[in-house]
Amino acid sequence: MAFDLILTNGRVIDPSQGIDAVLDVAFKDGKVAALGAGLDRTSAGDVRDVSGRLVTPGLIDLHTHVYWGGTSLGIDAEEFARKSAVTTAVDTGSAGPGNFPGFRKHVIEKSETRILVYLHVSFAGIFAFSKNINLGESANLKLMAAREAVEVAEANRDVIIGIKVRVGRNAGGDSGIAPLDIALQVADEAGLPLMAHIDEPPPSYEAVVDKLRPGDVLTHCFRPFPNAPVTRQGKVKPEVLAARERGVIFDVGHGMGSFAYKTARAMIANGFWPDTISSDIHALCLDGPAFDQVTTLSKMLCLGMPLVDVIRATTEAPALAVGRPELGTLKPGSVGDASILDLVEGSFDYPDVTGEILTGRQRLLAGGVVIAGRWWHPV
């Protein structure tokens, strides 16, 4: 078979297939064509030697804000992909039903990287979040656009994979848990999962996870006090354990204020690792403390999460969370996306959102991106 592209001699880590070995990966017609040692390179259109590097399924960042130019939080999806080797960015609520058409036409359809969407239940999405203005969209229940959200979701099933809501004192003011109740009705009517943001109380972390269904995502799962998922004694709250038991997905969602080492260490000490790792990248955390997806992955690696599990949490696990099993894998016949990463040793300072610095010995760096079976960008 004549391949379009072969990546040779890389350490292939594909948790979906239980693979961690030095192999070649071949692509043809936009899909993964073959994996194996010493694939025939004589007729390949493009051969890239990635010796000493990691080759993984295309990285998926489950929590991003990439409506560049449409919201104050938006960053450029393709620039972010180059810096983080991310092939699929899942935008979480930047747009609501009132402004989703612009997001689709001007950003999603023009992007070479894949953008999937959790549609915000609020009519205009996250519309007033900047360095100087923070007007929580869930504070005004008149903006909760249940009918319109269902209509837009049903008309855009190819890219809308869920419903987003933000609750908490910052995002919702005095609205309490009501926006979540509305969003759950929307998600149920549309037959989609929901992602819930939680910030400071009210409502409480426990009250939010109590309402989530199997397959729903609680993002900011390692957030700091107040509204941390652990008690003062360092025990995971029973409501959190019950939610995981019934299939709620716990996502890092680092962002500007939602990831604390103190919380992470307590959760890890209880054997509670995140299901998915995401950056919650946006304009206000691009220069820190989140920076990008590979830095977020590096933080979890340096906290002791095994490398294979870190890769799973940004490939197979988010692919299943968004209902796209053809992503996040290098199985032959799957979507021809791959990420090339460098795992380097040294001394690296990683800040969390509280100002604590973790000095780690390892760092993942973006080394290249394959999209639809072609070498898209070497970093």
Q: Do residue 62 and residue 116 come from a single domain?
A: yes
Q: Do residue 41 and residue 154 come from a single domain?
A: no
DSSP notation for 202-257 = SSPHHHHHHHPPTT-EEE-TTPPSSS-SB-TTSPBPHHHHHHHHTT-EEE---TTT
Query: What's the length of the chain?
Result: 379
Q: Do residue 233 and residue 254 come from a single domain?
A: yes
Which H/E stretch holds residue 57?
A: strand 54-57
How far are the Cα atoms of 77, 248, 256, 284 from residue 74, in angstroms, in the given order? 9, 27, 14, 9
Domain span holding position 20: 5-56+332-378
Count the Cβ atoms, other than its own, within 10 Å of residue 369. 26
- The count of C-alpha atoms lying within 13 angstroms of the C-alpha of 325, restricted to the half-sphere facing its C-beta, is 4
Pairwise CA distance, residues 27 & 373, whole Å: 5
Q: Do residue 239 and residue 316 come from a single domain?
A: yes
Q: Could you tell me if residue 327 is inside a domain?
A: no
Q: Could you tell me if residue 13 is inside a domain?
A: yes
Q: Do residue 28 and residue 153 come from a single domain?
A: no
Q: Do residue 282 and residue 294 come from a single domain?
A: yes
- Numbered residues of the known binding site for Zn(2+): 63, 65, 164, 197, 220, 280
Q: Do residue 98 and residue 18 come from a single domain?
A: no
3-state helix, strand, coil in the chain (%, to 5): 25, 30, 40
Contact 111, 371 (CB under 8 A): no
In the three-class reduction of DSSP (H, G, I as helix; E, B as strand; rest coil), residue 157 is classed as coil
- The count of C-alpha atoms lying within 13 angstroms of the C-alpha of 189, restricted to the half-sphere facing its C-beta, is 16
Q: Could you tell me if residue 326 is inside a domain?
A: no
Pairwise CA distance, residues 237 & 206, whole Å: 8
Provide the number of structural domains found in the chain: 2
- 251-279: per-residue pLDDT in tens? 999 999 999 999 999 999 999 999 999 99
Contact 37, 193 (CB under 8 A): no
Residue 43's pLDDT is 86
Q: Do residue 72 and residue 175 come from a single domain?
A: yes
- 50-91: per-residue pLDDT in tens? 999 999 999 999 999 999 999 999 999 999 999 999 999 999
Q: Kindly state the tokens that stand for 304.
A: 């002791």
- The count of C-alpha atoms lying within 13 angstroms of the C-alpha of 217, restricted to the half-sphere facing its C-beta, is 33
- 333-366: per-residue pLDDT in tens? 999 999 999 999 999 999 999 999 999 999 999 9
Q: Could you tell me if residue 368 is inside a domain?
A: yes
Q: Do residue 45 and residue 93 come from a single domain?
A: no
What's the CATH code of the domain at 337? 2.30.40.10
Q: Which of 248, 342, 328 is nearest to 61 (CA)?
A: 328
Q: Do residue 158 and residue 300 come from a single domain?
A: yes
List beta partners, residue 359. Answer: 349
Q: Do residue 209 and residue 358 come from a single domain?
A: no
Q: Do residue 70 and residue 128 come from a single domain?
A: yes
Q: Could you tell me if residue 125 is inside a domain?
A: yes
**pLDDT bucket at 379, cuts 50 / 70 / 90:** very low
Domain final position from 281, 297, 321: 321
What's the CATH code of the domain at 67? 3.20.20.140
- Numbered residues of the known binding site: 63, 65, 164, 197, 220, 280
